[in-house]
Amino acid sequence: MKIYDVKEVYRADEKRYDGMEYRRCGRSGVLLSAVALGLWHNFGGYDVYDNARDIVRRAFDLGVTYFDLANNYGPPFGSAEETFGRILHQDFSPYRDELFIATKAGYTMQPGPYGRGGSRKYLLASLDASLKRMGIEYVDLFYHHCMDPETPLEESMGALAQAVHSGKALYVGLSNYSPEQAEKAVKLLDSMGVHCLIEQSRYNMTVRDPERGLLPVLREKGVGFAAFSPLAQGILTGKYNRGIPQDSRVHGKSIYLTEEKLSGVIEQARRLEELAGEAGISLTELALRWALRDSAVTTLIVGARTPEQLEENVRAVQAGGLEPALLDRIDDILA
């Protein structure tokens, strides 16, 4: 495992594209790496910069091209974009055209009436601020991070279309939209001359909601799908099968990972780990390969605390699809 010296000049691995699968994103010309690096955690202002830099470098060396950010990732808000921008300019200036950089706006970013939501003012101002924090002229992908019921959808989609027409975003996407909302939003964007590239939602063995409406809509409309939390925040690594580690976010303030939510799925996770052992693979590998079994899923957004953890996730998907008999046994456990 290579650890990079802070002072050395970074040169990307010449064989970086050899092992990664690249999947077509809906009806578009875009291919995305089957594994994307999410910068929600571990890249903020309170995290160790050298570790963040090592993770991003290792990701690119492994063929990861899609880097997923948002205006409020950190903490504090905005600091993940600042960290990524610093890494980008230190190491990746020669490789900018090989990176697919995404950011988002929608959730609360700042106090006041213009710090959240779906208004044209908030979305476009947020995009400008994101570009400034990262020190770049455009992002490859700009998402509306969440549907805002208080703003007409026409206004929110109009802001996304303007981002493309202005050259500040090459593509636009949706995140955390319901099937009905996504279908309407895609239609509105089409009427404005902009195709919705992708939708991003939570999807894993314990959260299969996208299968019941969203994925069929996206497939019909030619829109890709990015699955975040494919390992269910560590549940599908087996991390909690023998108790809750002291350093787990379960003991913190996470609203997504609580003891109550964990208790509802831990028995499934244990049975899945046993099944993975029978198949001679890890639970992590089983979960990631399962999540990519549907061609409608373009990419899996994974987080990482260390370069080694990221490498484990990338190596897992390189093994390809799961056998039908194994998929059937997984369905029995998840039923």
Q: Is residue 167 part of a domain?
A: yes
| Mean pLDDT for all residues in the chain | 94
Res 305: pLDDT: 96
Domain that holds residue 49: 22-233+294-321
Residue 19 near residue 10, CB atoms below 8 Å? no
Q: Is residue 282 part of a domain?
A: no
Q: Is residue 40 part of a domain?
A: yes
Ordered DSSP codes for 202-247? E-BTTB-GGGGTHHHHHHHHT-EEEEE-TTGGGGGGTTTBTB--TT
Residue 266 near residue 235, CB atoms below 8 Å? yes
Res 76: pLDDT: 97
Total domains in the fold of the chain: 1
Q: Is residue 261 part of a domain?
A: no
pLDDT tens readout for residues 174-208 = 999 999 999 999 999 999 999 999 999 999 999 99
C-beta atoms surrounding 25 within 10 Å: 24
DSSP three-state, residue 191: helix
Q: Which residue has the tokens 């992002």?
A: 139
- Overall average pLDDT of the 93-100 stretch: 98
List C-alpha distances in Å: 189 to 59, 70, 104, 149. 32, 21, 17, 18
Residue 74 near residue 45, CB atoms below 8 Å? yes
List C-alpha distances in Å: 4 to 51, 83, 141, 256, 305. 9, 17, 28, 33, 16
Residue 142 near residue 104, CB atoms below 8 Å? yes
Q: Is residue 275 part of a domain?
A: no
Q: Is residue 268 part of a domain?
A: no
Q: Which residue has the tokens 């993940």?
A: 80
Res 259: pLDDT: 73
Residue 192, domain CATH: 3.20.20.100
Measured between alpha carbons, how far is 256 from 229 in angstroms, rounded to an integer?
10
pLDDT tens readout for residues 98-128 = 999 999 999 999 999 999 999 999 999 999 9
- Overall average pLDDT of the 20-47 stretch: 97
Residues 45-69, buried b or exposed e (16+ Cβ, 10 A)? eebeeebbbbbbbbbbbbbbbbbbb
Q: Is residue 274 part of a domain?
A: no
List C-alpha distances in Å: 23 to 26, 64, 190, 250. 9, 12, 23, 34
Taking alpha carbons only, the member of 59, 65, 62, 56 closest to residue 14 is 62
What is the pTM (predicted TM-score) of this model? 0.94
- Overall average pLDDT of the 217-237 stretch: 97
pLDDT at 165 over 80: yes
Q: Of residues 234 and 258, which shows the higher confidence score? A: 234
Q: How confident is the model at residue 251 (pLDDT cuts 50, 70, 90)?
A: very low
Q: Is the peptide bond before 111 cis (omega within 30 degrees of 0)?
A: no
Q: Is residue 241 part of a domain?
A: no
Cα dihedral 315→318→320→323 (10° resolution): -20
C-beta atoms surrounding 140 within 10 Å: 21
pLDDT tens readout for residues 41-79 = 999 999 999 999 999 999 999 999 999 999 999 999 999
